[in-house]
């Protein structure tokens, strides 16, 4: 016997089998009982929530010879014809492929003839938002004066794309995403009818992955059953078939993010992708994992809601301690944005990597959540004494730059470019802020050496470009290259800046011997942003 997809096999034939849309079913049944049937209905909602299924049952019910409590009897001639797809009274049109004026004109011509048998002709137009403007206008004419025996059911996932003139003539029904509980219960029911054993956890995972769509849930279940045909369904099987990732992996990922270990996080991602995990699924699952952490933090009694094994719960509780709520919300926000972007993106992996970097480096973002996290990080560094050198520098009296800043030449011998200047000249500041775009515009050899360069201040008004080795210094210092660099700067910021090239001969890392101008300016910019925010 050929395998029939569960979705087809168990497509509801009567209202009682429809799950999760009780508010709609009740209203429609009442209309049939009271014989107050409208001529135009609009069914809106995400995919797989039962729009066309309910439309078909409704079509059956209005034509049924002896409906029971508003539901089709299922045994009369009309019910059987509709169920078999041989009835002339139910016309299904996919607007995605029949979206032209001519398609709708055809309908208008047909509509003129009353049904040969039965009471109503029901036109179900799926994906109706795909109709062209001309087609909508043609449809509108029919909706304005519908024959008494015609019912239109327009189904759409994107109601906002439908002209108001059409909307205003329809009874509108909004289909809800179906809850995980409801989907799980339905899956359990069908599995027992099919006599396939399954772990509750496995079923729930599928229900969760379906994201509110019963149709998706059933096709995911199909995939899992088909892969392990004849075996009972385990959680591990489901993870494997759906390309999903286990909680332990997320735990590892979160720890890397909290430790701001970008390389570690990206390496872990790489590992997952090499194992054949699906990038989109990873994003959805990781978001879900973060949400669980947040729930655990917000209340003690969340164990039941979370639906995870006790060993994973222990792990999760430990992690819930590691990150604070605001931090988690920021992570969740970034990852939910990502799950929207990634759906149709070609470079899924790159997008995930960028998101991971954002999570590790809050300084790359400028919204309130990231600022809060940055402040927390600074506080932590202060506690650890990371800023002592700079503060010690202040104690030594650098308030008076004229007295203490090195002259243009002696700076080099003393390595005193390390001293903090009181003010950074505006044009140098601009040059530093624009450094990346400036060097992007230079010839490739120069660009490559300058990419590795560090920026500091020489004297009071010279941009000091510090290079690591002799070769680089020699290359950049040539008259032609110096000219090119200065030209690049003035083109970008509209000002001439004096530039001095120097090789770091101190034997120490740059940061320890010089004032890192890039970093100083970055911190100053961050302060300004904070102040602006307060003013608003």
Contacting residues toward Zn ion, per CB under 5 A: 64, 72-73, 76, 79
- E strands within 381-435? none
Q: Return the SS3 of 315.
A: helix
Give the nearest distance from C-beta 16 to Zn ion in angstroms. 14
Q: Rank residues 64 and 131 by Cβ distance to Zn ion and give the closer one.
A: 64
Token couple for 348: 């899924």
Min separation Cβ 346 and Zn ion, Å: 50
CB of 214 to Zn ion, least distance (A): 24
CB 179, CB 151: distance < 8 Å: no
Residue 73 or residue 378: which is nearer to Zn ion going by CB? 73
Of the two residues 25 and 64, which places its CB atom closer to Zn ion in the complex? 64
Say which residue the tokens 């690049």 belong to.
Answer: 488
**Distance, CA of 447 to CA of 212 (rounded, Å):** 51
Nearer to Zn ion, 64 or 153 (CB): 64
CA distances from 39 to 66, 126, 149, 213, 291 (A): 21, 16, 8, 28, 44
Q: Which long-range contacts (CB under 8 A, 24 or more apart) does 433-437 make?
A: 433/521, 433/525, 434/489, 434/492, 434/493, 435/518, 437/492
What are the beta bridge partners of residue 87? none
Q: How far is the CB of 67 from Zn ion (least distance, A)?
A: 7
- Closest contact distance (angstroms) between CB of 343 and Zn ion is 41
Shortest distance, position 82 Cβ to Zn ion, whole Å: 9
Selection from 318, 338, 334 nearest residue 326 by Cα: 334
Q: Which is nearer to Zn ion, 81 or 139 (CB)?
A: 81
Q: How far is the CB of 18 from Zn ion (least distance, A)?
A: 17
Q: Which helix (H) or strand (E) holds 465?
A: strand 462-467
Which CB atom, from 18 or from 417, has the smaller least distance to Zn ion? 18
Q: Cβ distance 295 to 271 under 8 Å?
A: no
Q: What would the 3-class secondary structure string for 323-385 be?
A: CCHHHHHHHHHHHHHHHHHHCCCCCHHHHHHHHHHHHHCHHHCCCHHHHHHHHHHHHHHHHCC
Decide whether 76 or 266 has the Cβ nearer to Zn ion.
Answer: 76
Are 186 and 10 within 8 A, CB to CB? Answer: no
For Zn ion, give the closer residue by CB, 76 or 91: 76
Rounded CA-CA distance 256/142 in Å is 61
Q: Please, what is the minimum distance in Å from the beta carbon of residue 73 to Zn ion?
A: 3
Indicate the residue among 79 and 265 with the shorter CB distance to Zn ion.
79
Please provide residue 328's backbone torsions phi and psi, each rounded to the nearest 5 degrees: -60, -40
CA torsion sign for 275, 278, 283, 285 is negative
In the bound state with Zn ion, the residue whose beta carbon lies nearer, of 63 and 251, is: 63
* Nearest distance in Å: CB 84, Zn ion: 13
Residue 223 C-beta: closest distance to Zn ion, Å: 35
Structure tokens at 378: 């600074």
């Amino acid at each position: 016997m050929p395998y029939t997809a569960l979705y087809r096999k168990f497509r509801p034939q009567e209202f009682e089998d429809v799950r999760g849309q009780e508010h709609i079913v009740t209203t429609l049944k009442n209309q049939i009982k009271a014989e107050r049937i409208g001529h135009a209905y609009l069914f809106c909602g995400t995919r797989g929530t039962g729009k066309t299924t309910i439309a078909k049952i409704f079509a059956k019910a209005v034509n049924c010879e002896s409906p029971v409590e508003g539901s089709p009897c299922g045994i009369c001639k009309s019910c059987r014809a509709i169920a078999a797809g041989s009835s002339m009274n139910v016309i299904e049109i996919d607007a995605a492929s029949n979206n032209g004026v001519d398609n709708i004109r055809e309908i208008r011509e047909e509509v003129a003839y009353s049904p040969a048998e039965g009471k109503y002709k029901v036109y179900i137009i799926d994906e109706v938002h795909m109709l062209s403007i001309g087609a909508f206008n043609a449809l509108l004419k029919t909706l304005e004066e519908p024959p008494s025996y015609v019912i239109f059911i327009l189904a759409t996932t994107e109601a906002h794309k439908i002209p108001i003139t059409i909307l205003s003539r329809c009874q509108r029904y909004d289909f809800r995403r179906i809850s995980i509980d409801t989907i799980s219960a339905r899956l359990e029911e069908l599995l027992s009818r099919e006599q396939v054993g399954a772990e509750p956890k496995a079923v729930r995972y599928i229900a969760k992955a379906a994201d509110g769509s019963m149709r998706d849930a059933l096709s995911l279940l199909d995939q899992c059953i088909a892969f392990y045909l004849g075996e009972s369904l385990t959680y591990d099987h489901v993870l494997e078939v759906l390309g999903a990732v286990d909680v332990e992996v997320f735990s590892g990922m979160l720890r890397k993010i909290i430790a701001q270990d970008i390389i570690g996080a990206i390496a872990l991602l790489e590992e997952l992708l090499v194992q054949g995990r699906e990038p989109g699924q990873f994003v959805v699952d990781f978001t879900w994992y973060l949400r669980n952490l947040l729930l655990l933090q917000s209340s003690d009694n969340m164990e039941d809601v979370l639906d995870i094994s006790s060993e994973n719960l222990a792990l999760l509780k430990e992690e819930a301690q590691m990150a604070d709520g605001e931090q988690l919300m920021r992570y969740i926000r970034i990852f939910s944005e990502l799950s929207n972007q990634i759906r149709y993106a070609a470079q899924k992996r790159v997008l995930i990597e960028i998101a991971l970097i954002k999570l590790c480096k809050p300084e790359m973002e400028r919204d309130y959540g990231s600022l809060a996290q940055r402040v927390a990080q600074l506080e932590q560094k202060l506690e650890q004494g990371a800023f002592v050198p700079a503060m010690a520098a202040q104690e030594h009296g650098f308030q008076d730059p004229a007295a203490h800043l090195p002259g243009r030449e002696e700076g080099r011998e003393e390595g005193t470019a390390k001293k903090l200047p009181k003010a950074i000249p505006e044009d140098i500041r601009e040059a530093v802020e624009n450094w990346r775009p400036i060097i992007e515009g230079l010839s490739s050899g120069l660009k490559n050496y300058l990419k590795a360069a560090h920026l500091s201040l020489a004297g009071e008004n010279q941009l000091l470009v510090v290079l690591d080795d002799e070769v680089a210094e020699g290359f950049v210092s040539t008259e032609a290259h110096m000219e090119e660099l200065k030209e690049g700067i003035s083109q970008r910021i509209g000002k001439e800046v004096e530039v001095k090239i120097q090789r770091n001969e101190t034997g120490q890392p740059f940061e320890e011997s010089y004032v890192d101008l890039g970093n100083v300016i970055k911190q100053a910019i961050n302060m300004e942003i904070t102040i602006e925010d307060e003013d608003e």
